[in-house]
Amino acid sequence: MNRKVAIVTDSTAYISESVRNQHSIKMVPLNVIFGETSYQEELDITTDEFYEKMKSADELPKTSQPAIGQFVTLFEQLADEGYEQVVTIHLSMKISGTFQSAISAGEMVDRIDVFGFDTEISCAPQAYYVLEAAKLAEAGADAKEIIEKLTYMKKTSRAYFMVDDLNHLHRGGRLSGAQLVVGNLLKIKPILHFEEGSIVPFEKVRTEKKALARIVDLLAEDVSKGGSFYATVIHAHRLDGAEALAATIQERFPDVKVDISFFGPVIGTHLGAGSLGLSWQKQYT
């Protein structure tokens, strides 16, 4: 007998409220903090408001994970609604304690079984897992079957990011003073990616044009191996750049489904405005 399975994620998947409602996906927000004021991502501050606020901020904002009580309350509510299992899907546990908070909350709630999935990534790739989980749950899959499918998807999930402003990485403690000086002199655009759940440099490329071309070439390598792919261009308050990159990809790969997403407040805090990313996923039937 199929159990009734709820799908939970956090705000860094950046799935719109309308899509969440359509698939009965529950979302717990992370927080971004300016000075003494904390805002729940999406609920208290929009992405556009965040980037405008960051322009005039004296200090880089901070971020924090949801309180464990928010997960406890949600899981109890889901149990009241008749759900028997929860698959809770979150950004990499290497960059946030959100996943662990969800798991700990699950141990506190007796009336529902909570299964956690660490995406080892964030943003659009996290959304890929969440939407696939929701579709599987709608089709009657149980939590174990959903986790197995998501784990399989990890084999072909890719994401690369290019930061626009090295000063931002330096202010956030992710780049030394010497690296900052050399990088600015050489116009270096570091390409970053997730490796075993951590954000690490992939390559250092001179000029934005070359960095974006390199990322598109990485997509080409995977597409050339065969199969159907979908891709997402991700931007930090830079829609024009995202649209241009999406058009380039669509022209070069007519069979790849391309859409556009964004780096919201929590992830934007660490990457900075102007950053662009590209993620893709092989489509499984």
Amino acid identity of 220?
A: A
Out of 140-149, 171-180, 239-248, 258-267, pick the least confident. 171-180
Residue from 232, 226, 98 nearest 157 by CA: 232
Domains, the chain, in order of start with CATH, read 5-154 (3.40.50.10170), 156-282 (3.30.1180.10)
Beta bridge partners of 114: 86
Structure confidence at residue 1 (pLDDT)? 38
CA distance 50 to 266: 9
CA distance 25 to 20: 5
Mean predicted confidence (pLDDT) in 7-13: 98
CA distance 69 to 75: 10
Measure the CA dihedral 20/21/22/26, to 10°: 50
Mean predicted confidence (pLDDT) in 220-248: 97
Mean predicted confidence (pLDDT) in 213-217: 97
Average pLDDT taken over every residue of the chain: 91
pTM of the model: 0.92
Amino acid identity of 74?
A: L
Predicted confidence (pLDDT) per residue in 24-83, tens digit: 999 999 999 999 999 999 999 999 999 999 998 888 899 999 999 999 999 999 999 999
For strands 198-206 and 188-195, give the pairing: antiparallel
Predicted confidence (pLDDT) per residue in 147-196, tens digit: 999 999 999 999 999 987 666 555 655 555 655 555 555 567 788 888 88
